[in-house]
Structure 1
Amino acid sequence: MSVMNLQVNPANETGDKGLSIRFLVTGDSSNGSIAAFELRVASGLRLLAPAHSHDHYEETIYGIEGVLTWTVDGKPIEVGPGEALCIPRGAVHRFDNNGSADAKALCVVTPAAIGPDYFREIFAMFHAAAGGPPDKAGMMDIMRRHGLTPAAPPPS
C-alpha cells in the first residue's frame, strides 16, 4: 500500500487588487478527484477577468463571510454565509463583490481540473500590468490552457 503525499493547505496565492486564493486541497493530493480553495474578495471588487465556463468540471461555492454576487448564464445570484451554489459544466459565470464588506467563500472543483498554477499565472499577469489593465489576449490564453473557456464579451 502506497502512502500519498499528504499536505495541509498546499498553496497560498496572494493576488492583486483585493483578491486572494488559498488552496486547501489540490488534485495532486486527491488523485484528481477534488480541488478546494478559499477565495477572499475585497469589498467593492469587480473581477477583471472575463466571464467564463468550464466543460470538464463543476464548481460549488459555499459562502463563509460577506456576500459575493455570482452571475450565472446572465442571472445574478447572491451567495452569503451558509449558502451554497453549484455551477454546472458549461454555465457561463463570473463573480463580483458588490457589498461594503470583504467576502470569503469556499470553492470546490470536481474533478480537480484547476490548481494553483492557473492563479499564479493570472496573478503574475496582473502584477506585470503594474496597476493598468491586464493583457486581455494573454489572460484568455492562460484561461484556455487551464480548461476555462472565456465567454464572448457582451454586446455594446
Structure 2
Amino acid sequence: MPELINMGTLQLKFLHTKDETGGSLDMFEMTLQPNARMPVPHYHENWDEIIYGLTGTTTWRIDGEDIDVAPGESVFIKRGVVHGFTNNSAGPATCLCTLTPGVLGPSYFKEMAALLVGGAPDPAKMKATMLRYGLIPAPPPSAG
C-alpha cells in the first residue's frame, strides 16, 4: 500500500522510493488543496524533476516563469533551476512527481511534516532540514 504523508495543504502518496528502485528514482502523487504553495522557492544540484498533471491545474514558477500544468501536461525541472509551486484554483489539484535519480525518499517529507505540526514552523529548522536533504533555498529576488 502506498505511503501517505500529510503536510497541511499538501498530501503526498509515495509510489516508488529510492530504496526500492536502487536509487534510480522517487515517484509520488502530490495533491495540493486550493491556495497550497511551496513556501520556499528552492533548487537542488543532485536531481532533476518531472511534473505530470493528473487533476486540476498547478502553477510552477520555474526560473522566474509561471507555467500552468493541467491534466496530461508535464514540465521538466533541471537540477540547479530555482522553482516552487502553487495551486491558484478553487479545487484540489494532483500531479505526479518523479525525481531522478532518487535521493529524497519519504524521509525528507516526514521531517518537514513534523515541523508543521502545532502552529507556525520555525524557519531556521525548515531551512536546516532542506539543506540536509539537498534542497537549497533560493535567495529572495533582488529589487530591480
User: If the TM-score is normalised by the length of the shorter chain, which range does it land in?
Assistant: over 0.9
Q: TM-score under structure 2 normalisation? A: 0.94
Residue 54 of structure 1 is matched in structure 2 by 44
Count residues with an aligned counterpart: 143
CA contact (8 A) 2:42 2:138 kept: yes
Residue 31 of structure 2 is matched in structure 1 by 40
Do residues 13 (structure 1) and 1 (structure 2) align? no
Deviation of residue 68 (structure 1)? 0.5
1:1-150 paired onto structure 2 within 5 Å: 9=2, 11-16=3-8, 18-48=9-39, 50-127=40-117, 130-132=118-120, 134-150=121-137
Q: What secondary structure, in the 3-state scheme, does the structure 2 residue paired with 1:27 have?
A: coil
Counterparts of 2:142 and 2:128 in 1: how far apart (Å)?
21
Q: What secondary structure, in the 3-state scheme, does the structure 1 residue paired with 2:134 have?
A: coil
Counterparts of 1:32 and 1:47 in 2: how far apart (Å)?
25
Structure 1: segments with no counterpart, 5+ residues = 1-7
Counterparts of 1:86 and 1:46 in 2: how far apart (Å)?
18
Q: What secondary structure, in the 3-state scheme, does the structure 1 residue paired with 2:109 have?
A: helix
Structure 2: segments with no counterpart, 5+ residues = none
Counterparts of 1:47 and 1:135 in 2: how far apart (Å)?
15
Q: What secondary structure, in the 3-state scheme, does the structure 2 residue paired with 1:61 have?
A: strand
Deviation per residue, 1:26-83 (Å, 9 max, x gap): 01100100110000000122332x1000101100000000111000011000001000
Q: TM-score under structure 1 normalisation? A: 0.87
Q: What secondary structure, in the 3-state scheme, does the structure 1 residue paired with 2:15 have?
A: strand
Which structure is larger by alpha-carbon Rg, 1 or 2?
Answer: 1
Residue 138 of structure 2 is matched in structure 1 by 151
Which protein is richer in strand relative to its size? 2
Deviation of residue 155 (structure 1)? 4.0
Letter in 2 for 1:137: A
